[in-house]
Amino acid sequence: MSATASTVTDANRLRVVRAYTRTIGMYATEAVGDSWLMFADAGLRISRVLVLLAIWRTLVDPGEVVGGFTLPALLTYTLVAEMFAQQLQAKSALDFWLWEGTIASRLLHPMSLVGQLVAQLLGSWLFGICAVTLPILALSPLLGVDPAPASWLGGVAFVPSLVLSVAIALAMDVILGAVTVAYGLNTWLVGMLRTALFGLLAGAVLPLAILPWGWGKVFDWLPFASMVSAPLRIYTGTGDPLLLMPVQAGWVLVLWLVAGRVWWRNRERLVGYGG
C-alpha cells in the first residue's frame, strides 16, 4: 500500500470515529433534554432498588437458599440489575424513528442504521451511568450489599456476556421494527408488548430460578433470558458462563439472521413508512 493510500485510509477512519463520537454526544445531550423529568426517573430507579432490597431481606432469611440463590446473591443480583438496567434492556430508538417518520432520512445518513442505533444507545446510557449506576455503587456499602462479582471469572465473563445481551436486544428491535411496518402495527403497542415480555421472561426483577413450577428452566432458553438473566447469573456466580454464553451467542446468530431477512424483505415499506 502506497503512502498516499495509507493516508486516505487513516483519514477515512478518523472521519468515521468523529461521526460516531459526535452522534454519541448528540444523543447524550438529548437524553437530558427533559431536565428534571430525567432526574425524577433516576430517583425512582434508585428508590425501586431500595424497595426491592428491603423486600428480599424480609422474605429470605440469612443462610436460606432460594432457587440456588443465597440472600447476599439475591441482593447483589437486584443491585447489579438496576445498575445495568439500560444496558441489559438495551431499548433502542428505532420504534420512535418509525413513529416520527424519520426512518427514511436516517437510511441516507453516512452511518449504517445499526451503527446509528449503537451510537444512540451509547449516548443515552451516559446520563443513566452518572445519575443511577454510580450513585447506587456509592450507596452499596451503606445498603449492606457487596456489588463485587462472585469471582474474578464471573467479573471477566460478565463483560462479553453483556455485549451479547445488547446484540440480542438490537436484533429484536430490528425484527420488531420491520414487523411493525410490514403489518401496520402501532409502534407504542409493540413497545408495550416488548416491555411486558421483558419484565415477565427476562428475569429483570425476579431471578428466573425462583419462579414456581420450574418455569424458570423453560424461560432460560428464550432470548429474553439471554438478555438479562444470563449476564446477572454469571456475575453472581449462580450460572456457568460456559453454558450460558453459548446460548447467548446462538441467539445472536439466529436473531441477526432473521433480522437481516425481515429487514431486507420489508425495506421498501420501511422507506415508505418514513416518506
Q: What is the pLDDT of residue 275?
A: 45
208-247 pLDDT, tens per residue? Answer: 988 888 888 899 999 999 999 999 999 999 999 999 999 9
Q: Is the Cα torsion angle 123, 161, 146, 70 positive or negative in sign?
A: positive
User: Which of 251, 253, 226 is closest to 89 using CA atoms?
Assistant: 226
pLDDT digits (tens, 9 = 90+) for 67-115: 889 999 999 999 999 999 989 988 888 888 888 777 777 777 777 888 8
What's this model's pTM, rounded to 2 decimal places? 0.87
CB 61 within 8 A of CB 154: no
Kindly report the average pLDDT of the chain as a whole number: 85
Domain count, the chain: 1
3-state secondary structure 20-86: HHHHHHHHHHHHCCCCHHHHHHHHHHHHHHHHHHHHHHHHCCCCCEECCEEHHHHHHHHHHHHHCHH
Contact 229, 220 (CB under 8 A): yes
pLDDT band at 33 (very low <50, low <70, confident <90, very high): low
Residues 6+ apart with CB under 8 A from 220: 208, 229, 247
State the pLDDT confidence band at 268, using cuts at 50, 70 and 90: low
Residue 271 pLDDT exceeds 60: no
Task: Considering only residues 246 and 267, tell me which one the structure prediction assigns the higher pLDDT.
Answer: 246
C-alpha cell at 81: 440489575
Which residue range forms the structural domain that includes residue 8? 3-274
